[in-house]
Structure 1
């Protein structure tokens, strides 16, 4: 300012133009510094932002100084020495402008690179987290598939495998029983099924406990056969009376005697009845030989079988001798 104060002569057009250029350059430098500062400080406060603000302040001072010199040039005529000094100052301001622009541009590039690197790091972490979550889900599913889960609450009453045994797919490992509701499943033939009705009473003798006769009722009839091969069979569910305690373990076999409204029941030893497919026959004397008579059987025990029809009371029946087979 002291040197410019000595400018007392009227300026030439070139001198005025140089001063105007200096002002324009100072303003451009200020604009560049402000743009760089906005880009840098937009990412958050820090050393880079402070440096950018300092650059803006310096550029503002340079604009004020250049404008003052322009005013002095227009109002006073500078001496050659003062003009040289003014030109030197303009050149110095121009160099400062270039340095500020370079610094601001470099810092903006660094800030942009850091921002891109930060975004890439975040994306990489998000990808890794998604991969780990998928792997965890897969392991949890595999663990769930490896667990043997009971289909209902109950007690294991029998085991056919021990820890360390090799097992095959669909292999039976034991028997799980719901001891809160112990029942009995009876396999009957298609001819015997009509004798069963829901609520009908039956006597049950557990194997090995012939002296104890338990009371049960038909609880459920099957919707379809349990076996569809040569002879259809049906699984009928019986329920014991409330409070019944089984003398033997769950899973033990038993004989079932179905209560009947019939006053008289025709019963034969099991050895007198033969089975061919789903048909039953008994052998009766015929002249000097025998002939087979088709009969309909009913309820059976371990030793006896009820004859529903096909045979009259008092008829003579022969026991069928079992035939040995050779291989």
Structure 2
């Protein structure tokens, strides 16, 4: 073949290429799954996190746990000094015993004694009445003076007063009497003081409110503790929560029950399945975020620790199968398709979007070639196919 022929063929090839237009990126529409995920950072939190402290002022005699210790319900955590409170308890016990003895005395000895005093007073009154009657007769007969009669009158008045006093004392020691009521009230008072002393002694034993783990220890033996001060922080057993602050712009994509994947940065090869548990009803105005809580589908692995930072990917949308094109292919609600070698606008209905791709609900068919920038409307182009992301 001569040089002229080769030149002619080259010119013809170049002319065809010019007529066909430049090469532009393109994708061939195929049905495939489209999944949209929302990714954010979160922290591991226990479902119940409590601070444990003392309800009384005291000195820590012993601290029985360390940070990271596992504890059971009722387990002793901190013991306060008890000497003074034990002495107060013994004193209260003695007061109870004394009050009970006094009550028994009222029930028995006092009642018997008061009844004897009434009988004696009645006898004395009877004798005084007899003396008074006899002296009246003697005075009337002139054997005694009027002054002697007055003395017997005084003795009669005294005997009557003594009987009234004895009867009052007997009434006081009766079942509904004032003395008995006072003795019973003293017993109740001393028992209340004893119970209060017992309660204070119990409060020197600071125990775990539930099974869990010690996160933080803020007390040492010998330290003076005050009511209201947190001595230990516990994470009680319960569902492990993944808590995140998510930008409010993505609130419309989230809903309770969505599936998610959790990955700890330090253990990236271990992916943990989770679900969205709750979405806070309010938005943090300062940060423009909403609190989202997730729970793990399975018990948490040992490496997952309180306050650990994790990465979360929530599946917020899925279409399977879907006709998918790259997001960059969109021109509003249209795409460029290759028709007879020419870039032609095609209206489409758009569905689920991700950061890279979009679901075309209608307007395209499987096998259509969609052109990507820099293709322009009406331009004759040659497609350079690539895969859909």
Give the alignment's TM-score, normalised by structure 1.
0.45
- More strand by proportion, 1 or 2? 2
Larger Rg belongs to = 1
